Amino acid sequence: MKIVCRDEDVAEGDARRFFVGNNNLIVARINGKLHAYRNECPHMNLPLTNRSKALINKEQNHLVCAQHAAAFAIENGLCVNGPCVGMELEPVIIESDNGKLYLNE
């Protein structure tokens, strides 16, 4: 398993981008639970974000693609608004251990 970040690096209602080897990831925390996805919008296979902080809507329940404003439910990655409604972000499995988050490959 490869380390992604420290648990404290992703605050409640926040989403961050991390590079782990060849993996470009977004990790979000909502309602105390972590969700991780590949940083790739299914609309045109472009990154959701090129910044260290991913975009979350003001209600803190959707990741927003910086390219075309597609909105994805944080809890399941389903696109609910924008050019790729019904498509999903690709989830990745992360695990927490001793205050660190690991990518489970």
Q: How confident is the model at residue 89 (pLDDT cuts 50, 70, 90)?
A: very high
CATH number at 2-103:
2.102.10.10
- Whether the Cβ atoms of residue 27 and residue 101 lie closer than 8 Å to each other: yes
Q: Kindly state the tokens that stand for 25.
A: 């990831």
**What is the structure's pLDDT at 1?**
87
pLDDT attached to residue 104: 85
Q: Which residue ranges make up each domain of the chain? A: 2-103
Q: Is the separation of the CB atoms in 1 and 94 below 8 Å? A: no
pLDDT value at 105 more than 80: no
pLDDT in tens, 21-80: 999 999 999 999 999 999 999 999 999 999 988 889 989 899 999 999 999 999 999 999
Overall pTM > 0.85: yes
